Structure 1
Amino acid sequence: MENSPSLTKDQIIQDLLPQKFGKLGMIWTYSLIFICLIGAFAYYRQLSKGLVVTNMGDYVSWGIYISNFVFFVAISLVGSLITAIFRLSNMKWATPLTRIAEIIAVSAIVFASLIIIIDMGRPDRMLNLFLHGRIQSPIMWDVIVISTYFVISLLLLYLPLLPDLKIMIKFKERSSNILNKLYLFQGSFWRGTAEQFKISERAITILCITIIPVAFSIHTVTSWLFATTYRPGWDSTNFGAYFISGAFLVGAGGVVVAMFVFRKFYKLEKYITEMHFEKMGRIVVMLSLLYLYFNINEYLVPAFKMKSGEEAHLKGLFSGEFALIFWFAILIGMIIPILILVFKKGRKPLPMFIAGIMIVIGAWFKRYLIVTPTLLHPFLPMQDAPAEFHHYFPSWEEWAIAMGTLAGTLLVITFFARIYPIIPIQETITEQDETCMSLPPTKRHE
């Protein structure tokens, strides 16, 4: 069901203005800050002692850090899916979800960039990418597309926020002096004239068109970082489409989880309705089936040819050291969500939330499996290598830093929801007015 025509402008504003945290909100926020502080302490140890505090080595030189990087890059694709594709398709029902999607995208891409610097061991070496970068390197391609994607995503988050900033400036009694100064700094130039709206809409349309190829590029280039390396498990022409389909799935799953949380704790049932879960559920089923198809492609063809290097890699996944994680990721991340959401009862808010959690968790473990098993199966055999080089499990510092970056992403989303409306106010009012005008005169005030 769409937003009720009985909602007034004042009611929409009062419902959607940022709300102060309650007791649960404060516990959630302090818990995330605590996890971030533990991660910061672990990173201090890594900076002072070097990468020796990690369990990475000559073979597994990419570990949980790069798994996190690929996960963050994947979930950031949701910004282009919800904001760009749905806006350009004129899917008005998705309006309450656009800002949720964009803040997930921006926060994820920020921490994707940070985790790369963490993985380098010495952050000062990041300068070498700009001072001595070579355009022939896929690493440089990744830096370029990530920077471009971040800027476009930030603009897509900021421009639709301008009319809401004017509303928050008007209702300044609902905010603290610090927040009111922030709103004035960010949006005092916005007058809400027809000309400004016209320019803003044109700019948003251009950004939506631009971000789609950039989003596809960022995930394709990230896949090329692996696929251009001649290793079992990475030597694949399927990797670009494999990464993009997986990114669409985890991004949509992340939005579903955020929809449920904001709907429940911010009392947004009138704006994020069961209709939104129904439609997002259908989309998630389609994306799950698409990603499952590319997974079959990714494993069936190497299994059919069974070259010696690929054989060791696939046996490690299907029945060896990584089998438990592999089947967990496949079942929890794809199969069970499909079985839940393919039925109408499964597309209700609570089952959707459970399926979304499963998709996000399964996606993280899937990224771990993309990185680690391949590095443990190099083409050249591990001769005279210490026993610990044949296995990899992250040290507590690696876990703390990885969990700290995940908590940091959630903290950015949490602070954004406290400072700004998580559902666009002005767009909701406009669509409400359009809905009322489309009704017969006798029905408009019922």
Structure 2
Amino acid sequence: MAGPLILDAPTDDQLSKQLLEPVWKPRSRLGWMLAFGLALGGTGLLFLAITYTVLTGIGVWGNNIPVAWAFAITNFVWWIGIGHAGTFISAILLLLEQKWRTSINRFAEAMTLFAVVQAGLFPVLHLGRPWFAYWIFPYPATMQVWPQFRSALPWDAAAIATYFTVSLLFWYMGLVPDLAALRDHAPGRVRRVIYGLMSFGWHGAADHFRHYRVLYGLLAGLATPLVVSVHSIVSSDFAIALVPGWHSTLFPPFFVAGAIFSGFAMVLTLLIPVRRIYGLHNVVTARHLDDLAKMTLVTGWIVILSYIIENFLAWYSGSAYEMHQFFQTRLRGPNNAAYWAQHVCNVLVIQLLWSERIRTSPVALWLISILVNVGMWSERFTLIVMSLEEEFLPSKWHGYRPTWVDWSLFIGSGGFFMLLFLSFLRVFPFIPVAEVKELNHEELEKARGKGGR
């Protein structure tokens, strides 16, 4: 291990001041306003592109025949994948009693919610008539027109709605003790009243903690299967089709591993700058960075193994269409740059994480995490777009080029994500204060025990 989970053994009052003050006293007001302004500009670009798309139609996108699924579905799969690490870190590692999750789980949970919001935008817009999006839900229809449950698209709607709801409840449940702390420490009566209402009368009594732990554990147990089920359902959108490059039973575990891989990378991308700006080195220690990097490396190798199996199955199948897709289209096709970016970022770059020095270097980790996210987006683009560009009949082959609307929706969704994340940093404690204090006491007890011996 790279060191203890909490450094310098701060007191409870010191931890409260360090972790609660950023909510009402940003470390750099000018820097935060600049970042917020850029995110607001990106959000404006997103809604401008959405308005133009709705008023004009999705013909302004680069989609064509046979590439009917393109940028929108690529972005959907990428964003929903990023959202998986939050539930993995919070729920699964909680059930496994991994203490190192404590200082980073609130980041990951918030990232999950905001990423799912971005993901949900793209399938709705892709319908072409987004005002009829409710048709994919099993609502009581007097005309008895029900969703086609043999299609994976209604499964997506159910899975994403369930995942978002459970993740929201899990995130808010963990916030309750910290909302009560904000109620007790926030300057100004208005803030204290608001945080008091949101904390549901929490006073830290023993029965409060008992009910809290039971409910938190139940939500973790409910959220854990969702990590596997949601992206397995997303993978079924492709696996149930006969398109070369899609029709594979490998997809459910492949998609889940890739989702957690990209999610861990995004946690590092967000966590490292905030750790530096707010001086959280004693709470988010080198050990946390080391453990996150190890998990990124492990999930990355599962993805690499999936790449190997995927290519082997294409060769072993003996199908001329599968072999053409994997050994010609992706290697030399019109968008082969995405295929090579995928392998450089997801296969070669992550091998640097074998070095402990790299794993504990914030700058190196941050750069690697960005490249991993680039690689995972390239992987989704390769899988979705390039598989459709050259399908069965050469007479139907057609290259794909995104339009300015496609790029605006993608870049704008990133701006909207950052807008929500920056707002979260200013409204809620982004480090779980109660859990960090509990872990701090455990660290002190261990230190005393060693000193006594």
1:422 maps onto 2:430 in alignment: yes
Distance 1:176 1:26, change over 3 A: farther
Shift of 1:181: 4.5
- 2:395 is paired with a residue whose SS is coil
1:161 maps onto 2:175 in alignment: yes
1:346 maps to 358
Shift of 1:159: 0.7
Aligned to 1:36, which of 27, 32, 43? Answer: 43
- 1:161 is paired with a residue whose SS is helix
2:101 maps to 94
Structure 1 runs of 4+ aligned residues shifted over 6 Å read: none
Aligned to 1:363, which of 352, 358, 376? Answer: 376
1:82 maps to 89
The one-letter amino acid paired with 1:377 is E
The one-letter amino acid paired with 2:275 is R
1:413 maps onto 2:416 in alignment: no
1:162-311 → structure 2 map (5 Å cutoff): 162-173=176-187, 177=190, 179-311=191-323
Shift of 1:208: 1.2
Deviates more, 1:227-236 or 1:308-317: 308-317
- Calculate the aligned-residue CA RMSD, in Å: 1.9
Shift of 1:304: 4.0
Aligned residues: 436
Q: Give me the whole-angstrom Cα distance separating, in 1, the residues matched to 2:282 and 2:232.
A: 38
Q: Is the 8 Å Cα contact of residues 102 and 157 (structure 1) preserved in structure 2?
A: yes
Q: Give me the whole-angstrom Cα distance separating, in 1, the residues matched to 2:75 and 2:221.
A: 28
TM-score by length of 2: 0.92
TM-score by length of 1: 0.93
Show structure 1 runs of 5+ residues with no match: 384-388
1:8 maps to 11
Shift of 1:49: 1.2
The one-letter amino acid paired with 1:165 is L
- 2:246 is paired with a residue whose SS is coil
Q: Give me the whole-angstrom Cα distance separating, in 2, the residues matched to 1:199 and 1:93.
A: 23
The one-letter amino acid paired with 1:406 is G
Encode CA deviations 1:384-442: one digit per residue, 9 max, x unaligned.
xxxxx711111101110121112211221111111111110111112212322344389
1:67-146 → structure 2 map (5 Å cutoff): 67-130=74-137, 131=139, 132-146=146-160
2:143 maps to none
Q: Give me the whole-angstrom Cα distance separating, in 1, the residues matched to 2:147 and 2:212.
A: 36
Shift of 1:307: 2.2
Q: Give me the whole-angstrom Cα distance separating, in 1, the residues matched to 2:56 and 2:268.
A: 41
Encode CA deviations 1:12-67: one digit per residue, 9 max, x unaligned.
01111124252222111111110111121122111111112112123211111100
Show structure 2 runs of 5+ residues with no match: 140-145
Aligned to 1:375, which of 388, 391, 399? Answer: 388
Shift of 1:234: 0.2
Q: Is the 8 Å Cα contact of residues 115 and 405 (structure 1) preserved in structure 2?
A: no
Q: Is the 8 Å Cα contact of residues 65 and 398 (structure 2) preserved in structure 1?
A: no
Q: Is the 8 Å Cα contact of residues 103 and 413 (structure 1) preserved in structure 2?
A: yes
